Amino acid sequence: MAVISSQSESSSAAAPRTAKLATAGLDADRLPRHVAIIMDGNGRWAQERGKPRAEGHLQGVQTVRTIVEEASQLGIEQLTLYCLSSENWKRPQPEVDFLMALLQQYLISQRADLIEQNLRFAMIGRREQLPAPVLHELDENIRLCSVNTGMTLCLAINYGARAEIVDAVKRIARKVEAGELSADAVDESLITDHLDTHAMPDPDLMIRTAGEMRLSNFLLWQISYAELWVTSRCWPEFEPADLHQALRDYGRRVRRFGGLK
Ligand code: IPE
Ligand code: IPE
Ligand code: MG
C-alpha cells in the first residue's frame, strides 16, 4: 500500500492521492488541515440491532481503522478522535472495563498499521486514572511513530476540555508564582501553548456522529472557529463516503473568522 504524506509527498505517492481526491469530488486546496471527530452512537447502533452495547464498541473500532486510513490517504494533516471523555467514567463499571480492554487491544493491534501508513501518534487527556498497561501501549505507539512523517493520529482519552483548561491555568499560575512569568504576559497564544494540544493546529472541521447537537466537553478552546458537521449515522456505520461528504461540505463553507469575505 502506498504511503501518503501531506507534508512530504513523493511524486509516486501523490498520484494515488490525486486519483482518490478526484473520485471523492474533493479539491486538495479546500481540505481541512485538522479534522476532529466525536465518535458517538456505538451503543445505539448495537441496541437498534438487538445486540449488547459492547458489540457497538467493537464495530466502532473497525470504523476507526477504516477512517484513519482514509483520512491519511486523502492527505489530512491531523485526525483527532474522541475515544473516552473525562465524564465517561460515570458509565457502569463493566462498560468502562470493556472500553479499557478494547483500547489496550486496539493500541497493540493497530501498531503495524501506524508504521505501515507512516502515521504520527499523539494523545490528549489526563494520564491519571488510566491503567498502567494502557499508558504503556500509548507510550509505545508515540515512541515508535515519532520518526514518521505522515498524518498525525491524535487520540483523546480521559479527555475533557474544561479539565484541560484547568491544567493549563495551573501550569501558568505555577510559573507566575515562581517568578518565571508576569501575569501581563498571559495572552491567547500563551494559553494555547499550555494546553494538551500545544504545537497542534486548531481543528478546521469538527464531525459528530449519531445526531446530537452538542460538544460534550471536546476541545472547547480549540474549536472556536471550527466548522461543525453532524450526521445522524452512528459511528459503527460511518463510512469513507460519509467522510467525503463532510469534506465536500466543508470545502463549500465560507470561513470569515469575524471578518468580511
Ligand atoms: C461513543 O458511543 C463511544 C464512547 C463514548 C466511548 P456511545 O457509547 O456514547 O454510544 P451511545 O451514545 O450510547 O449510542
Ligand atoms: C462523547 O460522547 C464522548 C465520546 C465520543 C468519547 P458521549 O456519549 O459521552 O456524549 P453525551 O453524554 O451524549 O453528551
Ligand atoms: Mg454517546
Q: Is residue 190 part of a domain?
A: no
Assess whether pLDDT exceeds 70 at residue 236. Answer: yes
Count how many residues are written for the chain. 261
Best residue for ligand 1 mutational test, from 38, 39, 44 (most atoms within 8 Å of Cβ)? 44
Q: Is residue 12 part of a domain?
A: no
171 CB near ligand 2 (under 6 Å): no
196 is in an annotated binding site: no
Q: Is residue 175 part of a domain?
A: no
The whole domain housing 144 covers: 29-162+204-249
CA distance linking residue 182 with residue 3, whole number of Å: 46
pLDDT computed for residue 2 by the predictor: 39
Best residue for ligand 2 mutational test, from 88, 158, 162, 215 (most atoms within 8 Å of Cβ)? 88
Closest CA to ligand 2's atom 14: 216
Q: Mean pLDDT for the chain? A: 95
- Of 27, 40, 187, 193, the catalytic one is 40
Give the total number of structural domains in the chain: 1
Assess whether pLDDT exceeds 50 at residue 78. Answer: yes
Assess whether pLDDT exceeds 90 at residue 168. Answer: yes
83 CB near ligand 2 (under 6 Å): yes
Contact 250, 226 (CB under 8 A): no
pLDDT computed for residue 31 by the predictor: 98
Q: Is residue 77 part of a domain?
A: yes
pLDDT computed for residue 214 by the predictor: 98
Residue 184 Cα distances to 164, 187, 198, angstroms: 22, 8, 20
Across the range 66-83, mean pLDDT stands at 98
- For CA atoms 128, 41, 26, 145, the dihedral sign is positive
Q: Give the percent of the chain with pLDDT over 90.
A: 94
Residue 229 Cα distances to 34, 120, 156, 217, angstroms: 14, 25, 19, 16
E strand segments, the chain: 34-38, 78-85, 120-124, 152-159, 205-208, 227-230
pLDDT computed for residue 15 by the predictor: 87
Of ligand 1's atoms, which has the minimum distance to the CA of residue 39? 1
Distance in Å, CA 135 to ligand 3 centroid: 24
> What percentage of the chain's residues is helix, strand, coil (to nearest 5)?
50, 15, 40
Best residue for ligand 2 mutational test, from 39, 40, 126 (most atoms within 8 Å of Cβ)? 40
Distance in Å, CA 256 to ligand 2 centroid: 29
Farthest-apart Cα atoms in the chain, separation: 60
Q: Is residue 153 part of a domain?
A: yes
Q: Is residue 228 part of a domain?
A: yes
pTM here is 0.95
Of ligand 1's atoms, which has the minimum distance to the CA of residue 46? 14
- CATH number assigned to the domain comprising residue 142: 3.40.1180.10
Assess whether pLDDT exceeds 60 at residue 1. Answer: no
Assess whether pLDDT exceeds 70 at residue 10. Answer: no
Distance in Å, CA 53 to ligand 1 centroid: 9
Active site residue 40: yes
pLDDT computed for residue 7 by the predictor: 47
Q: Is residue 65 part of a domain?
A: yes
Quick: pLDDT tens for 80-113: 999 999 999 999 999 999 999 999 999 999 999 9
pLDDT computed for residue 12 by the predictor: 62
Q: Is residue 187 part of a domain?
A: no
43 CB near ligand 1 (under 6 Å): yes
